[in-house]
Amino acid sequence: MSLEKTAPMTIQDRLEPLSEGRFRFACHPKVPCFTECCRDLRLQLTPYDIIRMKNQLGMTSGDFLEEYAEIRPEEQGTLPMAYLRMANNERKTCPFVSPPGCRIYEGRPSACRIYPVARASRVHPTHDAVQEHYYLLREEHCRGFSEPREWNVRDWISDQGLDSYHEMNNPWMEIVTHPAIRRAQGFTLGQQQMFFLAAYDLDRFRSFVLGGRFLQLFDLPEEEIEAIRVGDESLLRLAFRWLSFTFLKKPVLNVRRTGSP
Ligand code: SF4
Ligand code: SF4
């Protein structure tokens, strides 16, 4: 999928394909624009971003969403998407920016990690491999491009700790870019609530899975149940399967014979 066509309109004409894979960039406290970009952002959060941020802050998903997220439909869709809520001040600063830098650096979201690179990915329809394309997003105000340090994309991804983000964001991208979601004429309130619960409010989704009818309807191996009891990543993988099962009609969950979803 071409990112020039699917990225927000405001950045489409600033994306340069990174065909050679190399670029010059550095961001550190000595650049004159340091933290200037951490304001007035339309920063979409993936479910994995929310896990990393809420855990870094020691919050539940519900408290995190209430304090730091705005939930609204995406540009072309009607399912709820999560955005980082900027502070209610004149500069609309990110709630986590401080003079020495990002207060949640270890848990900062994927969009902050990957800049100035942008990534488009899709799962190949026949052999399940993830195809990736990388672009450079050159923002005029960003002085990081004047720094001498040279990178290739692979090293940048690794340096920014993005491998685990990509692994967890790939199934998410597959769901939200799927034609069944993209071409849908609208979703019921119940579907929107179900999507919100599984994608964003993971702590409540855990209670829903372990405490409700979910396990009567779906047959999960004992080890998976134990893993989701204690681990957010295992739970998120299950959430993605549930979303794929429900919205994309993929047979990725075993329905018990005695129940129906
Ligand atoms: S504008 Fe660029 S160089 Fe400046 S702080 Fe932001 S990312 Fe770093
Ligand atoms: S989360 Fe951190 S890196 Fe991202 S915009 Fe906020 S302060 Fe900047």
Summarize pLDDT for 214-242 with one digit per residue, the tens: 999 999 999 999 999 999 999 999 999 99
Would the pTM of this model clear 0.85, i.e. be above it?
A: yes
Phi, psi of 132 (to 5 degrees): -125, 145
Task: Give me the amino acid identity at 116.
Answer: P
Phi, psi of 156 (to 5 degrees): -65, -45
- Nearest residue (CA) to ligand 2, atom 8: 38
Ligand closest to Cα of 103 equals 2
Residue 64's H or E segment, with its range, is helix 61-68
- Nearest residue (CA) to ligand 1, atom 5: 34
pLDDT at 123 over 80: no
Ligand 2: atom nearest CA of 105 is 2
Ligand 1: atom nearest CA of 147 is 3
CA distance 66 to 246: 26
Q: Does residue 60 contact residue 50 with C-beta atoms inside 8 Å?
A: no
Ligand 2: atom nearest CA of 97 is 7
Which of the listed residues 143, 146, 156 should we mutate to test ligand 1's pocket, taking the one with most ligand atoms within 8 A of CB? 143
Given pLDDT bands bounded at 50, 70 and 90, which one contains residue 252? very high
Q: Which of 169, 163, 162, 174 is nearest to 48 (CA)?
A: 169
Q: Please give the C-alpha separations between residue 226 and each of 58, 219, 223, in angstroms, as whole numbers.
A: 22, 13, 5
**Joined tokens for residue 180:** 């069944």
* pLDDT for the residue 122: 72
